[in-house]
């Protein structure tokens, strides 16, 4: 029984020692420290333990530090660790510094770290600074003064400006400014033929405007890749204007026609009113004759003479009507 207890205690102690060694090997990256020492990187093993405690991967700091040292750059481990804690990409920054040093471009660690923390790819920026990048603009449509539309495509060759990467505008601004310059240049041309004959005038004029001001790039050249003739915008505008004038004239004619019809109806109504007044006046004649009889102002002979004159007038009107019909036939 005591031997069994002794065996169990020995196993427990052995497991504890193994666990302690494993934790020690995890907390103290001896292999990484040996790798750094033999690579010429001076770093204390206590610094590696401190990285573990600060939840920073020692390999993520030491290996980029080894690459920088082998490339002839001497960086402080504390700077790299601080950049990792700030959320930066140490490997990308170190690769950018090595590339800039080989290309004889002045770039400090502080600049590279600031560019990386600003959200830009510092390594790509160095590559673009060494090898200029070509940006192709979308199709830009503009109308010359003669009303013909032109559609142009430009290729802009840019080089990254390291000193303006932080706070400088990106490619979208370059494309927008170049497109605006193309539209302005084509719009000021007297004829679309002038633009087609000398498309290089567009690139020269746009390049002279300093469109890279305030951007993270330096424009090296602007080349017009293609110019196509589009629609005859001037003719279409004239057609639209003529159609609009036609509709306005039709609307005014319809308005005058409606006013004439209304006036005609008004005149017919007035004629009817006058005929009604005439009938009303004629209806008062017999009453006036009766009043004259009763008042002694009209005798029987006067009335008969009036009737004879009325009959004679009716007969003459009838004869005149018959004569008119005969003459017409």
Q: Using one digit for the tens of pLDDT, what is the confidence trace for 262-303?
A: 888 889 888 888 888 888 887 887 788 778 777 777 777 777
pLDDT at 325: 46
Q: E strand or H helix at 230, and its extent? A: strand 217-232
Q: Profile the chain (329 residues) by mean pLDDT over runs of 10 residues.
A: 56 60 57 78 79 81 87 86 88 90 86 87 84 88 86 89 81 88 86 83 82 85 85 76 87 89 88 86 80 76 78 83 48
pLDDT at 324: 45
What global pTM score does this model have? Answer: 0.56
In a domain, 322, yes or no: no
Question: Are 162 and 109 contained in the same domain?
Answer: no
Question: Are 115 and 150 contained in the same domain?
Answer: no
In a domain, 246, yes or no: no
Last residue of a domain, one of 235, 264, 298: 235
In a domain, 85, yes or no: yes
Question: Are 101 and 14 contained in the same domain?
Answer: yes
Question: Are 62 and 169 contained in the same domain?
Answer: no
Q: What is the tally of structural domains in the chain?
A: 2
Inter-residue contact 129 to 105 (CB < 8 Å): yes
Last residue of a domain, one of 130, 151, 169: 130
Question: Are 30 and 62 contained in the same domain?
Answer: yes
Question: Are 153 and 86 contained in the same domain?
Answer: no
Shortest CA distance to 82 belongs to which of 47, 48, 56, 121? Answer: 56
pLDDT at 216: 84
In a domain, 286, yes or no: no
Give the end-to-end CA distance of the chain in Å, rounded to a whole number.
160
Tell me the residue range of the domain where 181 lies.
133-235
Last residue of a domain, one of 192, 219, 235: 235
């Amino acid at each position: 029984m005591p031997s069994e207890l002794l065996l169990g205690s020995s196993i427990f102690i052995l497991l504890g020692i193994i666990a302690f060694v494993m934790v020690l090997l995890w907390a103290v990256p001896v292999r990484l420290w040996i790798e750094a020492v033999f690579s010429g990187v001076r770093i204390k093993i206590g610094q590696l333990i401190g990285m573990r405690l600060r939840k920073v991967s020692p390999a993520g700091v030491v290996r980029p530090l080894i690459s920088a040292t082998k490339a002839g750059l001497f960086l402080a481990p504390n700077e790299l660790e601080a950049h990792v804690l700030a959320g930066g990409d140490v490997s990308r920054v170190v690769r950018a510094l090595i590339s800039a040093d080989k290309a004889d471009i002045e770039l400090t660690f502080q600049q590279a770290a600031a560019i990386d923390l600003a959200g830009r790819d510092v390594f790509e920026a160095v590559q673009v600074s060494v090898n200029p990048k070509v940006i192709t603009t979308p199709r830009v449509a503009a109308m010359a003064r003669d009303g013909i539309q032109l559609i142009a495509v430009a290729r802009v060759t840019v080089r990254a400006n390291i000193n303006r990467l932080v706070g400088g505008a990106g490619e979208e601004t370059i494309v927008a400014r170049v497109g605006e310059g193309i539209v302005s240049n084509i719009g000021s041309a007297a004829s679309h033929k002038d633009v087609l004959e000398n498309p290089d005038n567009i690139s020269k004029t746009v390049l002279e405007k300093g469109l890279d001001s305030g951007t993270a790039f330096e424009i090296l050249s602007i080349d017009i890749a293609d110019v196509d003739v589009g629609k005859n915008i001037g003719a279409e505008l004239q057609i639209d204007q003529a159609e609009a004038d036609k509709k306005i004239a039709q609307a005014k004619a319809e308005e005058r026609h409606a006013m004439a019809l209304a006036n005609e109806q008004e005149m017919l109504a007035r004629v009817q009113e006058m005929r009604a007044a005439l009938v009303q006046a004629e209806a008062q004649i017999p009453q006036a004759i009766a009043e004259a009889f009763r008042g002694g102002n009209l005798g029987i002979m006067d009335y008969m003479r009036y009737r004879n004159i009325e009959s004679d007038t009716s007969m003459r009107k009838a004869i005149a009507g018959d004569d008119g019909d005969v003459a017409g036939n």
